[in-house]
A and B are shown apart, each in its own frame.
Chain A
Amino acid sequence: MCLAIPGKVLSLEAGGHLALVDVMGVRRRVNIDLLKDEGVSEGDWVLIHVGFALGKVSEPEAQAQLRLLAALGEDRLALEEVQGYRFA
């Protein structure tokens, strides 16, 4: 539960609550309300936890997080989680 899933922001949705992200080739919408202060732009990398972007990271850090998920054998679960989001 502690791990976060890195995704790349493809576009922002009207309304300001959601962004379309790419996670390991899967596209899903996630909520970006928790990044209100910093703001999110197209091309940003974010760490995703239970459907919410929790923080912004650099691209190398995002790659490192992906490697970590794979090393812990949790990349499949992470993908399953992202594919499982059905709120948007």
Chain B
Amino acid sequence: MKFVDEFRDPRLIRAAAEEIRRLADPDRHYRIMEVCGGHTHSIYRHGIQNLLPPNIEFIHGPGCPVCVLPMGRVDDGLSLAERPGVILTAFGDMMRVPGTRGSPLEYQARGADIRMVYSPLDALKLAQENPDRQVVFFAIGFETTAPSTAVTLMRAKALGVKNFSVFCNHVLIVPAIRAILDSPDMRLDGFIGPGHVSTVIGCRPYQFVARDYGKPIVISGFEPLDILQSTIMILRQLREGRAEVENQYSRVVPWNGNPAALRAMAEVFELRPYFEWRGLGFISQSALKLSAAYAEWDAEVRFELPGVRVTDPKAAQCGEVLKGVLRPDQCKLFARDCTPEHPVGALMVSSEGACAAYYHYVHRVGAVGR
């Protein structure tokens, strides 16, 4: 297959940008949060901000799973790798995330048995191949990823694999959006809703954003034209005084989501009363743990974990950046103490993190698009 240029149809892109200019009230400043890290990456990679008038600003939301994981949870997970007989498995995204005493890669270099996997099923397979070892899967991710962990646990139970367990850090996007909306310094006009999370949960769970908070939210695809079209849909709602959930990405996202995935999640997980998010603090009912029926496969039940809490360095302003109060380069540490090579805050770790994306596409290029 031949890949064409990223702007497949420059004419459509230009027309969309013109429509945005037409719809935007020049006397108003618009702040639109893209919730998902995939959108953040696409916005920076394609320079979409440069296509927009200066009074429309994208605010980068909390949708990057490694970015919102508190360092204490990283430390807890890594403490498992120091136990004799344990193989700790994690996605590649986790391998460079710093804990207090280094990242999984650094633990690996010091001799801990940590292995990168591409699927939770790989971790299960590893457990089957190593019956004399305890294999723990360090599960992270939003609703896109949680069903895969759920099905893996259902397989483990069905196959009777007892030396497998999951350190569950799955988080939910909807409570995070609510926490941002409830934040006193919130100044957002609308949301670009996550794409692939919504293939699982559908569009209904976002209705409170429109109904209770009066903000438009448009579920969006990831291509430049998708993001521009979603921006148009948000601007139209604002202009007409509407606040609704709209689905720009209906070619992939069904209104009701994926019922089989939701059933698997409901069987395997239950809500934690509260969970700490890096940068956002404790959010009630915002994360998943294994249900009683799966307690046998719960690493937090099987092993005693230290339950570490680590506060982020005071100077790091990850929370303000996550809530859209500060731009990444307005943080005191940005590009000085905190770089992709030596991340202090988690937003600098992943390519989907707001700070890493800003660093790669704006700071290093030296062309600030605003």
Contacts and interface: CB of A to CB of B under 8 A. Distances in A.
Interface in A8-65: 17, 24, 31, 33-37, 47, 49-52, 54-55, 57-58, 61, 63-64
A35 B41 CA distance: 28
B3 A2 contact: no
Contacts of B231: none
Interface of B: 1, 3-4, 6, 8, 36-39, 41-42, 45-46, 63-66, 91, 93, 117-122, 124-125, 141-142, 144-145, 147-148, 151, 154-155, 194-197, 199-200, 222-223, 251-252, 254, 258-261, 264, 350, 352
A51 B4 contact: no
Nearest to A73: B45
A54 B196 contact: yes
A87 B119 contact: yes
27 contacts: A1-B64, A1-B93, A2-B142, A2-B194, A2-B195, A2-B352, A4-B196, A31-B148, A34-B151, A37-B260, A47-B199, A49-B196, A50-B91, A52-B148, A54-B144, A54-B200, A55-B199, A55-B254, A63-B1, A64-B223, A66-B3, A67-B4, A71-B45, A85-B118, A87-B119, A87-B121, A87-B124
A84 B116 CA distance: 10
Given A1-B37, A88-B121, 18 more contacts: A1-B352, A37-B259, A50-B91, A50-B120, A50-B148, A51-B118, A52-B148, A54-B258, A57-B251, A58-B251, A66-B1, A67-B6, A72-B45, A73-B45, A82-B118, A85-B119, A85-B121, A85-B122
Q: When A and B form their complex, which 3 residue pairs have the shortest distance between CB atoms, in order from nearest?
A: A51-B119, A2-B38, A87-B121
Contacts, number: 137
B208 to A, nearest CB: 22
Interface centre among A1, A58, A72, A75, by most chain B C-beta atoms within 10 angstroms, is A1
A15 B163 CA distance: 24
Contacts of B45: 71-73
A1 B352 CA distance: 8
A86 B125 contact: yes
B264 A72 contact: no
Nearest to B145: A50
A4 B38 CA distance: 10
A47 B119 contact: no
A30 to B, nearest CB: 8
A61 B194 CA distance: 17
B118 A2 contact: no
A33 B258 contact: no
B151 A67 contact: no
Nearest to B223: A68
A78 B197 CA distance: 18
B9 to A, nearest CB: 12
A87 B122 contact: yes
B118 A1 contact: no
Contacts of B120: 50-51
A12 B351 CA distance: 34
A71 B352 CA distance: 15
A87 B125 contact: yes
